[in-house]
Structure 1
Amino acid sequence: MPQNTNINVPSNINYISSQAFSGYENLQSVNISDNVTEIGKYAFLNCSSLKSVKLSNSIRKISQGAFMGCSSLTNISIPDNVNTIETSAFLACTSLKSITIPASVTEIKRQPLGYDYLDAKIEDFKIYGYKNTAAETYAKENGFEFISLGEQILTGDANQDGTVNIKDVTYLQMHIAGNKNTDGSPLIDETNKQLFDSIDMNNDGKLTVNDVTALQTYLTQNN
């Protein structure tokens, strides 16, 4: 059976199984729907022509060796809800020059980023991330260039107090209802892209009651 060069993972899939696309040498692009929560071990192993990957915003973990040997990948952005990048997830992605890692990632296991099969570092590899996060720690420990995206804003931290709890639900509700600060400015500065993206929970480009509901669900799932 001929292999597809472009794959759109449908919305009725929530888990990409281990080795699901392993060895698909002709695969060039993958678009993973927002219902997918986990990419299994070695799911895209040695997809050597893979150049474009759009990851689901619902993914929590990128498993061991998930993209190992995807030697045509040049850059990738990890979605905000991922908290673990397992060992060798991007090992031997020898064309990979940069990876953007959100503050939600709290664990990066041994050498998934910026190494070839012989554990030699990939030249000019860069890590983009937020200060005082696992991304910065990993970059420093492995001698990679770290490019700061600024201070981290946690997903769902509507009132920017450094924690995510029911107070953020209330604050977001108040903002949507039109409440203002004492100086007349909106409670939430929607022109602050990093802040906006962190509370646009359904990623539809606007703040509505749907984001309030999604934030409540997020709190339930993460507490």
Structure 2
Amino acid sequence: MSPVGHPAAVERFDGWIGGLGTESGLRYVIGHWPSSPLGTFTDVMVERPDGHRLLLAPSPAVEEFVAATYTFDEVRHVPVDLRSVGSEFFLTAGPLTARFVLGGRSPLGVLLHAVPWRLATAPWWIATIDAIARRVLPGVRTVGSAGGGRTEYYGAQDLHRIEAATTTFDGVDQGALRPVSPPVRFGFGSTPTAPSWVRITTLIAGAGNSTEPIGADGTPRQ
């Protein structure tokens, strides 16, 4: 059967994605995955103001899988750690350090949160709302391919605003929090322009044999 109907061979990643922009022009995307075929991990995709795309991966396995799914100019294997205290998050990832604060659920987040989980993560539903997502959130796609024979489905289930952040890269302060603009270019779509923390299930079809997720959803919730 087609992946749109029901993926027969799919990798499933459950967690959160955060997209942030900075005054300097550096933009980055945090993927925090408490449950995945690769175990619990956090990775970071960075696009510098000059367009250089960098993956910061915590292990060779994560580096290999993510680099085969998305496009980068450089890949680094570095320790990546994400911790939280209430709504405040602290990230260290090689040359990148950040602190960011979550706000309340956005109006879109309220709508996403109201959709039943099984529906929100069904590939046919994700494919159906792709056209709507493109109109409501310019640059955002819910289904597509970054190459390598893999099709990705992004099932968003919640969205919180990121209200404040501080970011340093190679020890240099990147300035105040700004929209993710221009859109990042790691795959077929970007994150929302407004800095956001999105609860998401990512399905990647054509990545190999089906693998059951491991680990528990221990990510902080609001």
Compute the TM-score of the two structures, normalised by the length of structure 1. Answer: 0.22
Compute the TM-score of the two structures, normalised by the length of structure 2. Answer: 0.22
Higher RCO (CA < 8 A, seq sep 6+): 2
> Where is the strand percentage greater, Structure 1 or Structure 2?
2
